[in-house]
Amino acid sequence: MTTDRMPRDKGSEVHGIFEKIAGYYDRMNFVMTLGRHEKWCREVAARVAPAAGGQLLDLATGTGVIALEAARRYPASAVTGVDFSEEMLSRAMAKPGADAIRWQRADAACLPFENESFDGITEGYLLRNVEDLAGVLREQYRVLKPGGRIVILETCPPSGLLKPIMGWGVRVVVPLLGQLVARDRSSYTYLESSTLAFKSPQHIADMLSGLGFRDIGWRKKFFGTNVILWATKPK
Ligand SMILES: C[S@@+](CC[C@H](N)C(=O)[O-])C[C@H]1O[C@@H](n2cnc3c(N)ncnc32)[C@H](O)[C@@H]1O
Protein backbone atom coordinates (compact mmCIF):
# COMPACT_ATOMS: atom_id res chain seq x y z
CA MET A 1 0.00 0.00 0.00
CA THR A 2 1.28 3.45 -0.82
CA THR A 3 0.44 6.61 1.11
CA ASP A 4 -0.03 10.19 0.01
CA ARG A 5 -1.40 13.58 1.11
CA MET A 6 -3.65 13.13 4.17
CA PRO A 7 -6.88 14.88 5.26
CA ARG A 8 -7.50 17.84 7.58
CA ASP A 9 -10.70 19.55 9.00
CA LYS A 10 -14.10 17.95 8.03
CA GLY A 11 -11.99 15.19 6.52
CA SER A 12 -10.55 14.47 9.98
CA GLU A 13 -13.98 13.93 11.50
CA VAL A 14 -15.10 11.62 8.67
CA HIS A 15 -11.74 9.87 8.73
CA GLY A 16 -12.13 9.18 12.46
CA ILE A 17 -15.59 7.68 11.95
CA PHE A 18 -14.40 5.27 9.24
CA GLU A 19 -11.32 4.26 11.21
CA LYS A 20 -13.71 3.39 14.06
CA ILE A 21 -16.40 1.50 12.12
CA ALA A 22 -14.12 -0.47 9.74
CA GLY A 23 -14.48 -3.72 11.72
CA TYR A 24 -18.27 -3.86 11.37
CA TYR A 25 -18.73 -1.80 8.19
CA ASP A 26 -19.57 -4.74 5.87
CA ARG A 27 -21.97 -6.30 8.38
CA MET A 28 -23.81 -3.01 8.95
CA ASN A 29 -24.04 -2.36 5.22
CA PHE A 30 -25.53 -5.80 4.68
CA VAL A 31 -28.16 -5.25 7.37
CA MET A 32 -29.03 -1.66 6.37
CA THR A 33 -29.49 -2.47 2.66
CA LEU A 34 -31.02 -5.91 3.29
CA GLY A 35 -28.12 -7.43 1.35
CA ARG A 36 -28.52 -5.19 -1.71
CA HIS A 37 -25.24 -3.28 -1.41
CA GLU A 38 -23.19 -6.01 -3.14
CA LYS A 39 -25.63 -6.09 -6.03
CA TRP A 40 -25.35 -2.30 -6.46
CA CYS A 41 -21.55 -2.59 -6.40
CA ARG A 42 -21.79 -5.18 -9.19
CA GLU A 43 -23.92 -2.74 -11.20
CA VAL A 44 -21.42 0.08 -10.60
CA ALA A 45 -18.56 -2.14 -11.84
CA ALA A 46 -20.59 -3.26 -14.85
CA ARG A 47 -21.52 0.30 -15.84
CA VAL A 48 -17.98 1.70 -15.80
CA ALA A 49 -17.01 -0.69 -18.65
CA PRO A 50 -13.42 0.40 -19.40
CA ALA A 51 -11.73 -0.48 -22.69
CA ALA A 52 -9.86 -3.81 -22.46
CA GLY A 53 -6.61 -3.35 -20.56
CA GLY A 54 -7.72 0.02 -19.18
CA GLN A 55 -6.84 1.66 -15.86
CA LEU A 56 -9.65 1.78 -13.27
CA LEU A 57 -9.79 3.88 -10.12
CA ASP A 58 -12.14 3.01 -7.24
CA LEU A 59 -12.32 6.01 -4.94
CA ALA A 60 -13.40 5.74 -1.28
CA THR A 61 -12.86 2.06 -1.81
CA GLY A 62 -13.42 1.28 1.88
CA THR A 63 -13.42 -2.49 2.35
CA GLY A 64 -12.94 -2.81 -1.41
CA VAL A 65 -16.28 -4.25 -2.52
CA ILE A 66 -16.42 -2.32 -5.83
CA ALA A 67 -12.68 -2.61 -6.53
CA LEU A 68 -12.73 -6.39 -5.98
CA GLU A 69 -15.76 -6.78 -8.22
CA ALA A 70 -14.10 -4.63 -10.93
CA ALA A 71 -10.89 -6.70 -10.75
CA ARG A 72 -12.93 -9.89 -11.07
CA ARG A 73 -14.97 -8.54 -13.97
CA TYR A 74 -12.09 -6.93 -15.90
CA PRO A 75 -9.05 -9.19 -15.34
CA ALA A 76 -7.12 -7.41 -18.13
CA SER A 77 -7.52 -4.01 -16.44
CA ALA A 78 -5.38 -2.54 -13.67
CA VAL A 79 -7.54 -1.56 -10.67
CA THR A 80 -6.41 0.99 -8.06
CA GLY A 81 -8.40 1.27 -4.80
CA VAL A 82 -7.98 4.57 -2.95
CA ASP A 83 -9.19 5.54 0.53
CA PHE A 84 -7.93 7.80 3.29
CA SER A 85 -8.77 5.32 6.06
CA GLU A 86 -5.99 2.89 6.87
CA GLU A 87 -8.38 0.65 8.84
CA MET A 88 -10.81 0.36 5.93
CA LEU A 89 -7.96 -0.37 3.52
CA SER A 90 -6.53 -3.05 5.77
CA ARG A 91 -9.93 -4.86 5.72
CA ALA A 92 -9.94 -4.60 1.92
CA MET A 93 -6.41 -5.92 1.62
CA ALA A 94 -7.28 -9.01 3.70
CA LYS A 95 -10.04 -10.14 1.34
CA PRO A 96 -9.70 -12.90 -1.27
CA GLY A 97 -8.61 -11.41 -4.61
CA ALA A 98 -7.05 -8.32 -2.99
CA ASP A 99 -3.63 -9.08 -4.47
CA ALA A 100 -4.96 -8.17 -7.91
CA ILE A 101 -5.49 -4.56 -6.79
CA ARG A 102 -3.12 -1.70 -6.08
CA TRP A 103 -4.28 -0.14 -2.78
CA GLN A 104 -3.36 3.44 -2.07
CA ARG A 105 -4.01 5.72 0.87
CA ALA A 106 -4.93 9.21 -0.35
CA ASP A 107 -7.51 11.98 -0.01
CA ALA A 108 -10.06 12.21 -2.83
CA ALA A 109 -9.78 16.01 -2.60
CA CYS A 110 -6.18 15.89 -3.76
CA LEU A 111 -5.49 12.83 -5.88
CA PRO A 112 -1.84 11.85 -6.32
CA PHE A 113 -2.27 11.01 -10.02
CA GLU A 114 -1.34 12.68 -13.30
CA ASN A 115 -4.01 14.26 -15.49
CA GLU A 116 -5.90 11.75 -17.65
CA SER A 117 -4.54 8.63 -15.90
CA PHE A 118 -7.72 6.50 -15.75
CA ASP A 119 -10.15 4.99 -18.24
CA GLY A 120 -12.87 4.73 -15.62
CA ILE A 121 -13.64 5.85 -12.06
CA THR A 122 -16.04 4.22 -9.59
CA GLU A 123 -16.94 5.35 -6.08
CA GLY A 124 -19.34 4.23 -3.38
CA TYR A 125 -20.59 6.69 -0.75
CA LEU A 126 -17.81 9.24 -1.09
CA LEU A 127 -19.54 12.46 -2.07
CA ARG A 128 -21.74 13.09 0.97
CA ASN A 129 -18.63 12.78 3.15
CA VAL A 130 -16.57 15.52 1.52
CA GLU A 131 -16.38 19.19 2.32
CA ASP A 132 -15.74 20.50 -1.20
CA LEU A 133 -18.04 18.46 -3.44
CA ALA A 134 -17.24 20.45 -6.58
CA GLY A 135 -13.49 20.21 -5.91
CA VAL A 136 -13.68 16.42 -5.44
CA LEU A 137 -15.63 15.99 -8.70
CA ARG A 138 -13.19 18.33 -10.48
CA GLU A 139 -10.29 16.11 -9.34
CA GLN A 140 -12.06 13.12 -10.86
CA TYR A 141 -12.59 14.96 -14.13
CA ARG A 142 -8.89 15.84 -14.13
CA VAL A 143 -7.60 12.28 -13.68
CA LEU A 144 -10.13 10.72 -16.08
CA LYS A 145 -9.13 10.20 -19.71
CA PRO A 146 -11.36 11.70 -22.43
CA GLY A 147 -14.01 9.11 -23.23
CA GLY A 148 -13.73 7.65 -19.70
CA ARG A 149 -16.75 7.09 -17.51
CA ILE A 150 -17.43 7.81 -13.85
CA VAL A 151 -20.01 5.75 -11.93
CA ILE A 152 -21.17 6.87 -8.50
CA LEU A 153 -23.11 4.98 -5.81
CA GLU A 154 -24.55 7.34 -3.19
CA THR A 155 -27.25 7.64 -0.61
CA CYS A 156 -30.12 9.86 -1.64
CA PRO A 157 -32.26 12.19 0.48
CA PRO A 158 -35.86 10.91 0.42
CA SER A 159 -38.25 12.75 -1.93
CA GLY A 160 -41.76 12.48 -3.38
CA LEU A 161 -44.71 10.70 -1.78
CA LEU A 162 -42.56 8.34 0.26
CA LYS A 163 -40.50 11.19 1.74
CA PRO A 164 -42.15 11.23 5.21
CA ILE A 165 -41.96 7.45 5.64
CA MET A 166 -38.44 7.07 4.24
CA GLY A 167 -37.23 10.15 6.15
CA TRP A 168 -38.55 8.57 9.34
CA GLY A 169 -36.90 5.26 8.40
CA VAL A 170 -33.50 6.88 7.85
CA ARG A 171 -33.77 9.02 11.02
CA VAL A 172 -34.93 6.24 13.33
CA VAL A 173 -33.92 2.89 11.84
CA VAL A 174 -30.32 3.66 10.82
CA PRO A 175 -29.06 4.82 14.27
CA LEU A 176 -31.09 2.02 15.91
CA LEU A 177 -29.40 -0.60 13.71
CA GLY A 178 -26.07 1.01 14.53
CA GLN A 179 -26.89 0.52 18.20
CA LEU A 180 -28.15 -3.05 17.85
CA VAL A 181 -25.70 -4.47 15.30
CA ALA A 182 -22.54 -2.50 16.02
CA ARG A 183 -23.15 -1.04 19.50
CA ASP A 184 -22.29 2.30 17.91
CA ARG A 185 -25.22 4.67 17.64
CA SER A 186 -23.18 7.86 17.18
CA SER A 187 -21.37 6.84 13.96
CA TYR A 188 -24.66 5.81 12.40
CA THR A 189 -26.31 9.02 13.53
CA TYR A 190 -23.69 10.70 11.31
CA LEU A 191 -24.77 8.45 8.40
CA GLU A 192 -28.39 9.41 8.98
CA SER A 193 -27.72 13.17 9.13
CA SER A 194 -25.31 13.19 6.18
CA THR A 195 -27.83 11.27 4.07
CA LEU A 196 -30.75 13.56 4.89
CA ALA A 197 -28.64 16.67 4.29
CA PHE A 198 -27.12 15.48 1.00
CA LYS A 199 -27.89 16.74 -2.51
CA SER A 200 -30.44 15.26 -4.90
CA PRO A 201 -29.28 13.24 -7.95
CA GLN A 202 -30.43 16.17 -10.14
CA HIS A 203 -28.13 18.52 -8.20
CA ILE A 204 -25.14 16.17 -8.62
CA ALA A 205 -26.00 15.73 -12.31
CA ASP A 206 -26.02 19.53 -12.74
CA MET A 207 -22.60 19.75 -11.08
CA LEU A 208 -21.24 17.00 -13.34
CA SER A 209 -22.64 18.79 -16.36
CA GLY A 210 -21.10 22.09 -15.21
CA LEU A 211 -17.70 20.40 -15.01
CA GLY A 212 -17.99 19.21 -18.61
CA PHE A 213 -19.31 15.64 -18.17
CA ARG A 214 -21.85 14.43 -20.73
CA ASP A 215 -24.24 11.44 -21.15
CA ILE A 216 -25.31 11.82 -17.53
CA GLY A 217 -27.92 9.51 -16.06
CA TRP A 218 -29.02 7.93 -12.80
CA ARG A 219 -31.20 5.24 -11.34
CA LYS A 220 -32.59 5.30 -7.82
CA LYS A 221 -32.53 2.18 -5.66
CA PHE A 222 -34.23 0.86 -2.55
CA PHE A 223 -37.27 3.16 -2.38
CA GLY A 224 -35.16 6.13 -3.50
CA THR A 225 -32.74 5.95 -0.56
CA ASN A 226 -29.74 5.11 -2.78
CA VAL A 227 -28.78 6.10 -6.31
CA ILE A 228 -26.32 5.08 -9.02
CA LEU A 229 -25.23 7.96 -11.28
CA TRP A 230 -23.01 7.81 -14.36
CA ALA A 231 -21.38 10.33 -16.69
CA THR A 232 -18.75 10.44 -19.45
CA LYS A 233 -15.89 12.85 -20.05
CA PRO A 234 -16.18 13.90 -23.70
CA LYS A 235 -13.42 12.93 -26.16
C1 LIG B 1 -19.30 4.46 3.35
S2 LIG B 1 -17.66 3.99 2.94
C3 LIG B 1 -17.85 3.27 1.33
C4 LIG B 1 -16.92 2.15 1.01
C5 LIG B 1 -17.20 1.46 -0.32
N6 LIG B 1 -17.04 2.37 -1.42
C7 LIG B 1 -18.56 0.82 -0.33
O8 LIG B 1 -19.37 1.12 -1.21
O9 LIG B 1 -18.80 -0.03 0.54
C10 LIG B 1 -16.98 5.56 2.55
C11 LIG B 1 -15.48 5.51 2.43
O12 LIG B 1 -15.04 6.78 1.94
C13 LIG B 1 -13.81 7.07 2.55
N14 LIG B 1 -13.60 8.51 2.41
C15 LIG B 1 -14.41 9.50 2.87
N16 LIG B 1 -13.90 10.70 2.54
C17 LIG B 1 -12.77 10.45 1.84
C18 LIG B 1 -11.79 11.28 1.22
N19 LIG B 1 -11.89 12.62 1.25
N20 LIG B 1 -10.75 10.70 0.58
C21 LIG B 1 -10.63 9.35 0.53
N22 LIG B 1 -11.51 8.50 1.12
C23 LIG B 1 -12.57 9.05 1.75
C24 LIG B 1 -13.97 6.56 3.97
O25 LIG B 1 -12.75 6.35 4.61
C26 LIG B 1 -14.75 5.26 3.73
O27 LIG B 1 -13.91 4.15 3.61
Q: What is the CATH number of the domain that holds 89?
A: 3.40.50.150
Residue 180 falls inside a structural domain: no
For residue 40, report the distance from its CA to the centre of ligand 1, in Å.
16
pLDDT at 5: 47
**Is 44 near ligand 1, meaning CB less than 6 Å away?**
no
For residue 130, report the distance from its CA to the centre of ligand 1, in Å.
9
C-alpha distances out from residue 194 to 14, 106, 189, 198, 228, Å: 11, 22, 9, 6, 17
On whether the CB atoms of residues 133 and 207 are closer than 8 A, the answer is yes
Domain that holds residue 108: 2-156+199-232
pLDDT digits (tens, 9 = 90+) for 159-195: 877 778 887 878 888 878 888 877 888 777 877 788 7
**Is 175 near ligand 1, meaning CB less than 6 Å away?**
no
Residue 28 falls inside a structural domain: yes
User: At 9, phi and psi to the nearest 5?
Assistant: 45, -125
Domain count, the chain: 1
Residue 222 falls inside a structural domain: yes
pLDDT at 205: 98
Residue 111 falls inside a structural domain: yes
For residue 88, report the distance from its CA to the centre of ligand 1, in Å.
8
User: At 103, phi and psi to the nearest 5?
Assistant: -100, 135
Residue 177 falls inside a structural domain: no
Residue 125 falls inside a structural domain: yes
pLDDT digits (tens, 9 = 90+) for 27-71: 988 988 899 999 999 999 999 999 889 999 999 999 999 999 999
Give the residue, by CA position, lying nearest to ligand 1 atom 7: 124
